[in-house]
Structure 1
Amino acid sequence: MSTTQDLTTWAQERLTKLYSPSEGDDAAATFEATCSPDINISVNGESTTREKLKQDITGASIGKVELNWDNCIAVPKDDQNPNDAGIVAGFVTLTRHLPFRIRAATAQSQSIVCFQAKVESGPASTDQNGWDNRRIVELHQTVLHKPFNANIHATHPGNTTT
């Protein structure tokens, strides 16, 4: 049985809901519906636990988060059912708009993520929230965190007085 949503769209929607939940979204339920209970995870080449990933994702959702997807691809496990399982990989840039200001500008940070997610289907069912049976069983991420530069010059560049 083939599901209707392709793997790339599925992964982008699930990861977007994890990193940038809408008001009223249950972050824990989204995480459970996205990640397999026995998921294998590595971040920057280091193995990590499911709970640590869950804590990092839910703890980083302070303020508004924008996601910019780039060069996402999917390689299906089975060409007859290309949407059921496979590997999804790509880049996503997360820009966090933090709830405080530096000078007059909103504080921001940016994370650039190169990810590879192995998606598999479980038993055919949907839960009470309408999630399908696909889950990420392996997730490998290379992440670079960058603060946005804040222009904090004491004087205007054209001002010659001290």
Structure 2
Amino acid sequence: MSQVPHAPPTPSRQPQPRVQDAFDRTFSPLCEVRLNHAVQPLQTFRDDVAARRTAATHVSVAWGLNSNPGSSHSGGGVVSTNEDKPKEPAVVAGALVVTRSLPFRIRVSPAQRQTYIYFSARIERDLGVQGSDPRRITSFYYTSVDKTPPIHFAVPRAAQAGGSEGQ
């Protein structure tokens, strides 16, 4: 009789305190969030980021999508309307790819999900913030598309050479 392995405990979907603090320092509590052109509460966005982070065993971020290889801008995929005037309101736009390795394997490699994100954020002074940097994201629009990267199978040497062994 075979035994069924126990499923690992489900991690908490609550954001960790460091992540929670980072959101509070980055986003205004009244931030307007739109995911794929649909209005979304900031808390829903925060919970979604925490859930995606919890489900992964490893996360990497690549800024920019190499969509403009001839560009001389070296800002890592992010541009701003006010780079020279940091105290004034600005719009920041960019693109990134988040690659998450998941806790199960396909063949011998970890399963992965890639999320392609394009975003635009309005950054303004938040008059309700005391002390630290008062700039916060007050409007955040982002388009997010999830993809599974292709699985690369090993090709036997005989198949690579175009024949079979023993001929």
How far, CA to CA, are the matches of 2:125 and 2:157 in structure 1?
59
- Aligned counterpart, 1:65: 59
Asked if structure 1 preserves the Cα contact closer than 8 Å seen for 2:28 and 2:126, the reply is no
Q: Is 2:101–2:110's contact at 8 Å kept on the other side of the alignment?
A: yes
Q: Which amino acid aligns with 1:50?
A: L
Report the Cα distance in structure 2 between the residues aligned to 1:144 and 1:32, rounded to whole angstroms: 25
> Which segments of 5 or more consecutive residues in structure 2 lack a partner in the other structure?
1-14, 65-76
* TM-score, scaled to structure 1: 0.69
- Larger deviation: 107-116 or 62-71? 62-71
2:59 counterpart letter in structure 1: V
Aligned counterparts, 1:44-83, within 5 A: 44-61=36-53, 62-70=56-64, 71-76=77-82, 82-83=85-86
Distance change in 2, residues 1:120/1:102 (3 Å): same
- Partner deviation per Cα, 1:113-156 (whole Å, 9 max, x = no partner): 11000011224522xxxxx2221110001111101222468x85
Deviation of 1:157 after TM superposition, in Å, equals 8.1
Higher strand share: 1
> Is there any run of 5+ residues in structure 1 with no aligned partner, and where?
1-20, 127-131
Larger radius of gyration: 2
Of the three residues 110, 115, 135, the one matched with 1:111 is 115
Q: Would you identify which runs of 4 or more consecutive aligned residues in structure 1 move more than 4 Å?
A: 155-160
The answer to whether the 8 Å contact 2:23/2:46 transfers is: yes
Q: How far, CA to CA, are the matches of 2:103 and 2:134 in structure 1?
A: 36
Task: Note the aligned Cα RMSD (angstroms).
Answer: 2.6
1:26 pairs with 2:30 = no
The count of aligned residue pairs is: 129
Instruction: Compute the TM-score of the two structures, normalised by the length of structure 2.
Output: 0.67
